[in-house]
Structure 1
Amino acid sequence: MTITIVPATADRFDDVEHTFSGGGDGLSCQCQWWTLTNAQFEASDRDERERMLRAQVAAEPSPALIAYVDEEAAGWVRVGPRPTQPRLSRTRNFAATTEPWDDPSVWAVSCFVVRKEHRGRGLNRKLLDAAIDHARTNGARVLEAYPTETDTDTAKRRSNDLYIGILSVFESAGFREIARPKPERVIVQLKL
């Protein structure tokens, strides 16, 4: 299995859509949940969100990365400055962050998508490692995330509930916990 991870760019948009079509809410959301307020998201439809995503991946630096497994688009991670993801600052559970919300040198990893047939192979960790490099290369000082702690209960979680990542993946990449607003919700940071 050969894995390649590259920035999501305008010329790779069909690959982004292929990744999103592999299960979960990716196709309907178009990875706009964190970029819009609730009112804006509710007022938009899938086509409008797709147009927004097309514009975002045409910009520099790319707001996301795509993982290819044996040349097939298989995974996605959104990573970018927190100010470009305004819903993060409006989410009560994330209020315990230690960094100012308007600081563009603080980046956030906010969304993972992995096609069903590629799950369980460690692709999220590879995407996270690439996201760390992408953030560092583009001037991020701190990388923050809001993963789910899956060891807090025995309930099986749906993949749609894990799109923000799993705590153990972030911990294995060197992130440290800075707050736990709920037993299953954690805020983690990595100083770059």
Structure 2
Amino acid sequence: MPGRSNASPPGKADGRKIRFMEVTGSTRADFENLFEQPGAPKYCWCMAWRHLPRREHVQNDEKKRAMMALVDAGTPVGILAHLDGKTVGWCSVAPRQTYRRLSRHQDDSEIDIWSIVCFYVPRALRGDGLAAALLDAAIDHAFAKGASSIEAYPVDQASPSYSFMGFRDMFAARGFHEIGTAGSRRHVMRLER
């Protein structure tokens, strides 16, 4: 794996073994349970960057239905992290065309690009390397599924918003290079095989 950080061994958070699995029909319940926990992002169901028929005033249950329809249709949506038998994290990693436009400079003629747009790690587990382990697993997952390159849209550590998209340094440590910006805070970074 190119440029993995030595600070967080793959599959380890705080010395414990983490398992990663794709969200599918068979892991859908784990995904739902994670997002329905207190403090989880059930207000968005990770639909902020995905296609919705309308974007304004969409209720949480409608976002959940839209996400579950993607899962039920077999559309890749992301991966889950399991630690000690519990679902403890999420990374949205999927083919870029399954998202709405992520950058105004995006070239839609490019094929086999996968995008990483979101992480969720419960507050109690933050700072233990789980987000870094999720990123490593997302990279492995995307390339295993046929990605020719992976894009991400992280922010600087001091950014007042969009931290759910990850931090620039975490991606740079894994060999992602900046190819542009999206808005005033998000960096567009790419990793090629």
TM-score of the aligned structures, taking structure 2 as reference length: 0.81
Q: Is the 8 A contact 1:106 1:141 kept in 2?
A: yes
Matches within 5 A, 1:47-58: 47-58=61-72
Question: Residues 68 and 74 of structure 1 are in contact (CA less than 8 Å); yes or no, is this contact kept in structure 2?
Answer: yes
* Counterpart Cα distance in 2 of 1:112 and 1:190: 18
Q: Deviations over 1:3-25 (max 9, x none)?
A: 1111012222232133223525x
Q: 1:2 aligned to 2:17?
A: yes
Q: Matched residue pairs, number? A: 177
Distance in 2 separating the partners of 1:76 and 1:136: 18
Alignment of 1:1-192 (within 5 A): 1-20=16-35, 21-24=37-40, 26-36=41-51, 40-60=54-74, 62-88=76-102, 94-97=103-106, 100-150=107-157, 153=158, 157=160, 161-180=162-181, 184-192=185-193
Instruction: State how far apart, in whole Å, the 2-side matches of 1:14 and 1:171 are.
Output: 33
The AA in structure 1 aligned to 2:174 is: A
Decide whether the 8 Å contact of 1:107 with 1:143 is kept in 2: yes
Say whether the 8 Å CA contact 2:151–2:189 is kept in structure 1: yes
- Residue 140 of structure 2: SS of its match in structure 1? helix
TM-score (norm 1): 0.82
Cα offset for 1:130?
A: 1.1
Structure 1 residues 34 and 183, CA gap change in structure 2 (3 angstroms): closer
Say if 1:35 and 1:84, in contact at 8 Å, map to a contact too. yes
Cα displacement (A) at 1:106: 1.0
Q: Deviations over 1:115-169 (max 9, x none)?
A: 112111111111111111111111111100110111xx5x7x5xx7311111111
Amino acid at match of 2:44: C
Contact in 1 for aligned 2:89/2:121 (Cα 8 Å)? yes
Alpha-carbon spacing, 1:11–1:122, altered in 2? closer, same or farther (3 Å): same
CA contact (8 A) 1:10 1:57 kept: yes
Q: Kindly indicate which of the two structures has a greater share of residues assigned to helix.
A: 1
- What is the identity percentage for the equivalent residue pairs of Structure 1 and Structure 2? 32
* Unmatched tracts of structure 2, length 5 or more: 1-15
1:51 and 1:183 mapped to 2: Cα distance?
31
- Note closer, same or farther for the CA distance 1:61–1:86 as it changes in structure 2 (3 Å cut): closer
Q: Where does the alignment leave 5 or more consecutive residues of structure 1 unmatched?
A: 89-93
**CA positional deviation for 1:58:** 2.9
